[in-house]
Chains A and B, each alone.
Chain A
């Protein structure tokens, strides 16, 4: 009996010790992020915070990775359940219009010196990226952490040959005349129009030019998902179109959309892009460029490091420039990834202090050095000195960058479905655009 009592007493003491130790642990602010190069960079920032800043701030930070695919589906479950399980949610400028009502306005916290003990402001960030995290009434809901944008990727070795080899030039002119009805001269990709893009795509497709060093001219994303529609939007903008007019009305059923769809459809219909690219996206594009299957692609900036990496067969042979121009000039789509405070967090003040620190150049620099693209003016300028390509990307963005309004996320799925039906020939252009116009307009009426 004595032994039993003694054992119980020891157990009780151990439990007390464990519980008191747990009680002494500082709170851990939980933040959702998506896995990949962005979370690798954010982990460095978090580690720095936990080692150097947590004591002064009074809490630590932890990151929850929800998976890259369908991250918003998982967050939606938390939002609709009003779950306090996470303190900061992952978001993007294009999603803000769909989820701002589940997030906490940030500016009051930034203005409170007791919470924002770092005196951080939004001034250090590129203004467009901060504005991307504001709802239409101007309320700020998040911290822009990572830039995502589009470029025209091209094989610099092949384009150089095209610009200097007379035989190639002649073949190029001949193919352009046959396929596009115009005798076009090869040009520097930075000066291309979409017609030049198609001409080069024909030239680098074996079916039209048996001597082409690549099987296909370009890789065109076709998978049914928002980002596919965003890639097409570079072309749509360049023909003078946009998703919404100045009053916020949906504007898809127009001539600009038909012209931009025609460019995409030509790639799919004429076999200028691998046939399976109708279901392809980021990963397939990387593989097509890396294996030397294609010469061109309008693609995400995040792919650059994966394609042009040491050991890759195309290492040193990949260059980028702004997507081709239309009558309205060049446009380079961009959106920003970031975080915002969950409305259902029970530790909003801690979450806000962390968010305020993320606005500092100190955090942005750590993030950028770890491989992220923090939209901080000072940090980007500094990083551009170290990596010229990086600097060039920033120049393109400054010159041609454009983003969609925060309401785009509401209709991105239906936009991509209808556009893909049009360029794949499932529906004709008129039917697909009329359907998209009607469906998207009706959907937006539920979000007024």
Chain B
């Protein structure tokens, strides 16, 4: 009996081994290596023999106005993009709860941008919004009054629009599937009690899917806060540093300036900054489940 128990335990450890090894090699080791590097002056010219400088990278980072501006831009972008995408995603998911001809095709079309890699999407948008030859820029000029959608006046709105096209489908599919799980009896009972569609949405559907809503909101906020590929392809953070997200800041530090120590310090600082609201949101979201 005892040996059977021991065997079971051993099998358990053996089954865990591949994943543990994977995590140690490809997650834990790089994290620890990055943490170590953040305490060094490590550049491409001294990567063999970096100099230990303690917390100097962190001190310099928090006194760097560019880092602060990038954080602020990312926060603004995350709030605006998440708000727009959550509203749109919920609204479309709600509309799609009823049957209508061509629903399958419409669902596929809405989901299509989600399967395109953000960098590719950004490259496509860069061409489509091109002031000289971009067809979307030309078509939208009737509404925007300009074809310069990547100019100073429009570039932030254009990035939010492009990100919404790419990532709103993620909100839609989460909300749509969650709404499908709301029991029909509840909605029918509310109808009998005289509730209209909007009342049913706010008083029955949304409270019933609050857990999925919370997770989607968190995921969307983090995605938007850390946005990189789309911006890199469309503006590279410009004009100047006008659309420089915090991820672009880190990328430029690491790969344009080859300042690996500072880039690692910025990555860790960002991880800590994001960990606090993330833990709070996860705790709140999972509270109901327990």
Which residues of A are in contact with B by a Cβ distance under 8 Å?
Answer: 70, 73, 76, 79-80, 98-99, 101-102, 222-225, 274-280, 284, 287-288, 291, 293, 410, 413-414, 417-418, 420-422, 424-427, 443, 446-447
Contact = CB atoms under 8 A, between A and B. Distances in A.
B94 interface: no
B45 interface: yes
Contact of A421 (B146, B149, B240): B240
A276 B257 contact: no
7 contacts: A98-B45, A275-B148, A276-B129, A278-B150, A284-B130, A293-B131, A424-B240
Interface string B202-216: 000000000000000
Given A223-B236, A421-B240, A275 B131 contact: yes
Q: How large is the interface on B (under 10, 10 to 19, 20 to 34, 35 or more residues)?
A: 35 or more
Contacts of A293: 131-132
A313 to B, nearest CB: 12
B110 interface: no
Nearest to A72: B255
Contacts of B258: 76, 98
Contacts of B46: 446
A426 B240 contact: yes
B168 to A, nearest CB: 24
Contacts of B149: 276
Contact of A276 (B44, B45, B151, B237): B151
B237 A275 contact: no
| Chain B contact surface mostly | loop
Interface of B: 41, 43-47, 66, 129-133, 146-153, 155, 234-242, 252, 255-259
Given A76-B255, A417-B240, A424-B239, A291 B152 contact: no
Contacts of A279: 150-151, 155, 234-236, 238-239
A291 B257 CA distance: 36
Contact of B241 (A98, A417, A446): A417
B259 to A, nearest CB: 8
A429 B238 CA distance: 17
Given A80-B47, A98-B45, A274-B148, A420 B132 contact: no
Most A CB atoms within 10 A — which of B146, B236, B238?
Answer: B238
Contact of B238 (A99, A101, A420): A420
Contacts of B252: 413, 417
B44 A79 contact: yes
A11 B56 CA distance: 62
B153 A447 contact: no
In the A-B complex, the 6 residue pairs with the closest CB atoms: A275-B148, A275-B151, A421-B240, A420-B240, A278-B239, A413-B256
Contact of A424 (B66, B148, B242): B242
Contacts of B151: 274-276, 278-279
B240 A274 contact: no
Given A98-B258, A293-B132, A275 B239 contact: no
A422 B241 CA distance: 10
B43 to A, nearest CB: 6
B255 A421 contact: no
B131 A274 contact: yes
A417 B239 CA distance: 8
Most B CB atoms within 10 A — which of A278, A287, A413, A443?
Answer: A278
A381 B234 CA distance: 41
Contacts of A447: 43, 45
Contacts of A80: 44, 47
Given A288-B132, A422-B240, 16 more contacts: A76-B255, A223-B235, A224-B237, A275-B131, A279-B155, A279-B234, A279-B235, A280-B131, A284-B130, A287-B133, A410-B257, A418-B240, A420-B241, A446-B41, A446-B43, A446-B46
A223 B238 contact: yes
B232 to A, nearest CB: 9
A288 B150 CA distance: 15
B174 to A, nearest CB: 33
Contacts of A422: 240
B52 to A, nearest CB: 14
A191 B215 CA distance: 65
Contact of A224 (B43, B66, B129, B241): B241
B239 A224 contact: yes
Contacts of A73: 255
B137 to A, nearest CB: 8
A276 B236 contact: no
Contact of A426 (B236, B241, B256, B259): B241
Nearest to A101: B45
A280 B43 CA distance: 30
A284 B132 contact: yes
Most A CB atoms within 10 A — which of B131, B153, B236, B255?
Answer: B131
Nearest to B255: A73
Contacts of A277: 131
B244 to A, nearest CB: 8
B200 to A, nearest CB: 45
A222 B150 CA distance: 11
B162 to A, nearest CB: 13
A312 to B, nearest CB: 13
Contact of A278 (B41, B47, B152, B259): B152
Contacts of A427: 240
Contacts of A410: 257
A225 B235 CA distance: 10
B62 to A, nearest CB: 16
Contacts of A284: 130-132
A224 B45 contact: no
